[in-house]
């Protein structure tokens, strides 16, 4: 059903038959409570005739109201017709008046709402941003201080190394093979052991990336028993890696 | 001096990214719903001179910015002004004042087909489905949303501008359920 929703048809500013009728009442400055709706039949028909070509069901709704108005007019002109009204199951003048009044209130409220909207005075709420990722509990200030100490030491050594042996290059591929061999032989080793006594920053980074790669290839298992403790690297018992065919 | 419950509630609503229900607040601060009501009223009162407001829809509460500060907040957020056609506004007015209401009821009042306007309002999240009326055809009921309250700068539905026309003009108009729903 969504597919055939065309743009809402608005006819010369009239959204529907009730609105057209209400416009007539207001234009003529009539009191909605007392106006004889039948008196509006002619003016209404003139307006309907002036409407541009409309889809059939749109026209039908305007014509239905027009015929109702004509009937009301006929009854007021020929009171003798009145008894027939009891047979008529359509809307009485009072029912139509009630609908018109109800619609008038809706339009008034829509106007008030529209005014509020135009004033731009709206509220905003806190936008639901990215969910807050709380750090794991149990962090210790001393552990942080120790880690910072190690970073400083590493940075100092890095500078010394650069002075001694600038341009030293480590290949992730070589290091990966190296670690795989060590783990294959020993079965288990810690990250600190792999780094050695005085690692440079480059060495540490390459070692770490190699470990990630090995882990990804399911060659090794990684384990850390508590926050900030050493990482244990184990040979994966039965690697699911398919052996490369010769 | 504000009570501790008031401060606790303010703190919760400050970090909340979505409305918090009265029951949840009561559980969190360990108070009775009645105490929470009192505290919320006190909090709302204390915001009257600030850039914030306490808004609620039913039992759900949220801190929002004051409508008077909309222009600076909109500028900061880069928010566009909402535009709603007169036809959609009429449909919205019927739904806002009569909710929950079916499409047939909206159409009976406006005298025109409201498929399109309801669809547009749904897309803009100004209205939402509110279950179904237990009547033939079980037609969908519609009501307004948080977005509606925010876009119109209302703290709650109680703040809907009451019509300039006296309510009594329509016998039983606002309070009575809007008649029989025509099956759709």
Contact flag A108-B164 (C-beta cutoff 8 Å) = yes
Report chain A's mean pLDDT, rounded to a whole number: 76
In A178-193, which positions are buried (b, 16+ CB within 10 angstroms) versus exposed (e)?
ebbebbeeeeebebee
Q: Which chain B residue shows the shortest CA-CA distance from A4?
A: B116
A56 touches chain B (CB under 8 A): no
Degrees to nearest 5, angle at CA A2 with B181 and B144: 50
pLDDT for the residue numbered B33:
92
Pick the more confident residue, B94 or A245.
B94
Residue A11: its pLDDT value, please? 44
Instruction: Tell me how close the Cα of B89 comes to any Cα of chain A, in angstroms.
Output: 5
Query: Which residues in chain B have Cβ-Cβ distances shorter than 8 Å to A105?
Result: 163, 165, 169-170, 173
Residues from chain A that touch B161, judged by Cβ atoms under 8 A, are 109, 112-113, 116
Chain B contact for A15 (CB, 8 A cutoff): yes
What is residue B55's predicted lDDT score, i.e. its pLDDT? 94
B59 and B161 Cβ atoms separated by less than 8 Å: no
CA B63, B64, B69, B73 dihedral sign is positive
Question: Does residue A76 register a pLDDT over 70?
Answer: yes
A-chain residues near B87 (CB < 8 A): 8, 10, 15
Neighbours of B58 (CB within 10 A): 11
User: Where is average pLDDT lowest: A22-36, A106-120, A211-225, B92-106?
Assistant: A22-36
B179 band by pLDDT with thresholds 50, 70 and 90:
very low
C-beta of residue B14 within 8 angstroms of C-beta of residue B43: no
Which ipTM did the prediction report?
A: 0.76
For residue A121, what pLDDT is reported? 87
Q: What percent of chain B has pLDDT over 90?
A: 58
pLDDT reported for residue B56? 93
pLDDT, position A151? 82
Q: Is the pLDDT score of B93 beyond 90?
A: yes
Mutating which of A34, A109, A129, A130 best tests the B interface, going by the most B Cβ atoms within 10 A? A109
What per-residue confidence (pLDDT) applies to B80?
81
pLDDT at A126: 82
pLDDT digits (tens, 9 = 90+) for B28-53: 999 999 999 999 999 999 998 999 99
Least confident of B67-81, B127-141, B170-184: B170-184
Q: What is the pLDDT of residue B36?
A: 95
Does the pLDDT of residue A54 top 90, yes or no? no
CB pairs < 8 Å spanning A and B: 145
Neighbours of B132 (CB within 10 A): 14
Lowest mean pLDDT of A65-79, A202-216, B18-32, name the range: A65-79
State the CB neighbour count (10 A cutoff) for residue B55: 24
Which residues of B are less than 8 Å from A1 in CB distance?
115
Q: How far is B40 from chain A (nearest CA, A)?
A: 17
Nearest CA to CA, how far is A15 from chain B (Å)?
A: 7
Beta strands at B127-132 and B101-102: parallel, antiparallel or unpaired: unpaired
Phi/psi for A89 (5° steps) reads -95, 0
Q: Do B79 and A124 touch (CB under 8 A)?
A: yes
Mark yes or no for CB contact B74/A117 under 8 Å: no
Q: Which of A101, A122, A124 sits opposite B152 (nearest CB)?
A: A122
pLDDT digits (tens, 9 = 90+) for B101-152: 999 999 989 888 899 999 999 998 999 999 999 989 899 999 999 989 999 9
Average pLDDT, chain B: 85
Read off the pLDDT of each residue in B86-114 and give the average, rounded to a whole number: 91
pLDDT given for residue B167 in this prediction: 46
Distances (CA, A) of A201 to A15, A100, A111, A173: 73, 82, 69, 17
Q: What residues of chain A lie within 8 A of the CB of B150, using their CB? A: 122-125
Q: Residue A122: is its pLDDT beyond 80?
A: yes
Average pLDDT over residues A89-94: 72
- Quote the pLDDT of residue B19: 92
- Split at pLDDT 50, 70, 90, the class of B24 is very high
Q: What span, in angstroms and rounded, lies between the C-alpha atoms of A50 and A12?
A: 10
pLDDT band at B171 (very low <50, low <70, confident <90, very high): very low
pLDDT digits (tens, 9 = 90+) for A171-217: 888 889 888 888 888 888 998 888 887 777 788 888 889 999 888 88
Task: Give the chain A residue nearest B90 (alpha carbons).
Answer: A110
| Cβ separation B150–A122 shorter than 8 A | yes
Residue of A nearest to B74 (CA): A124
Q: Which of A124, A130, A134 to mutate to test the interface with B (most CBs of B within 10 A)?
A: A124
Q: Taking residues A27-54, report their average pLDDT.
A: 79
Tell whether the model's pLDDT for residue A13 goes beyond 90: no
Q: What is the pLDDT of residue B44?
A: 94
Q: Where are the alpha helices (DSSP H) in B47-170?
A: 70-77, 86-98, 103-110, 115-123, 146-151
pLDDT of residue A246: 46
Q: Rounded to whole angstroms, how far apart are CA atoms B155 and B56?
A: 6
């Amino acid at each position: 059903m969504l597919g055939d929703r065309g743009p809402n048809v608005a006819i010369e500013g009239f959204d529907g038959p009730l609105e057209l009728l209400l416009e007539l009442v207001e234009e003529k400055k009539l009191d909605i409570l007392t106006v004889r709706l039948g008196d509006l039949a002619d003016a209404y028909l003139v307006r309907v005739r002036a409407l541009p070509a409309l889809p059939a069901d749109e026209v039908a709704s305007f014509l239905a109201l027009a015929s109702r108005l004509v009937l009301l007019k006929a009854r007021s002109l020929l009171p003798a017709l009145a008894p027939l009204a009891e047979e008529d199951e359509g809307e009485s003048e009072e029912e139509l008046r009630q609908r018109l009044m109800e619609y008038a209130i809706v339009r008034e409220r829509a106007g008030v709402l529209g005014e509020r909207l135009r004033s731009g005075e709206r509220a905003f709420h806190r936008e639901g941003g990215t969910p807050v990722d709380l750090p794991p509990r149990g962090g210790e200030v001393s552990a942080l201080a120790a880690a910072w100490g190690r970073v400083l030491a590493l940075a100092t050594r890095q500078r010394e190394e650069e002075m001694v042996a600038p341009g030293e290059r480590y290949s992730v591929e070589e290091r990966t093979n190296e670690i795989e061999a060590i783990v294959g032989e020993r079965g288990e080793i810690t990250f600190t052991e792999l780094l050695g006594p005085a690692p440079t920053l480059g060495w540490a980074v390459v070692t770490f990336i190699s470990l990630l790669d090995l882990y990804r290839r399911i060659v090794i298992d990684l384990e850390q028993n508590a926050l900030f403790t050493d990482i244990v690297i184990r040979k994966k018992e039965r690697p699911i890696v398919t052996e490369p065919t010769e | 001096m504000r009570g501790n419950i008031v401060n606790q509630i303010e703190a919760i609503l400050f970090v909340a990214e979505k409305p918090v229900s009265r029951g949840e607040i009561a559980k969190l601060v360990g108070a009775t719903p009645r105490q929470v009501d009192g505290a919320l009223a006190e909090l709302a009162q204390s915001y009257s001179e600030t850039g914030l407001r306490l808004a609620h829809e039913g039992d759900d509460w949220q801190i929002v910015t004051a409508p008077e500060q909309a222009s600076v907040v909109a500028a900061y957020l880069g928010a566009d002004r909402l535009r709603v056609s007169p036809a959609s506004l009429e449909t919205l007015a019927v739904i806002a004042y009569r909710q929950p209401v079916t499409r047939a009821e909206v159409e009976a009042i406006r005298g025109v087909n409201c498929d399109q306007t309801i669809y547009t309002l749904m897309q803009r999240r100004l209205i939402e489905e509110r279950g179904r009326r237990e009547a033939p055809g079980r037609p969908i009921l519609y009501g307004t949303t948080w977005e509606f309250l925010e876009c119109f700068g209302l703290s709650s539905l109680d703040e809907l501008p009451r019509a300039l026309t006296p309510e009594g003009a329509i016998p039983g108009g606002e309070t009575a359920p809007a008649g029989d729903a025509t099956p759709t």
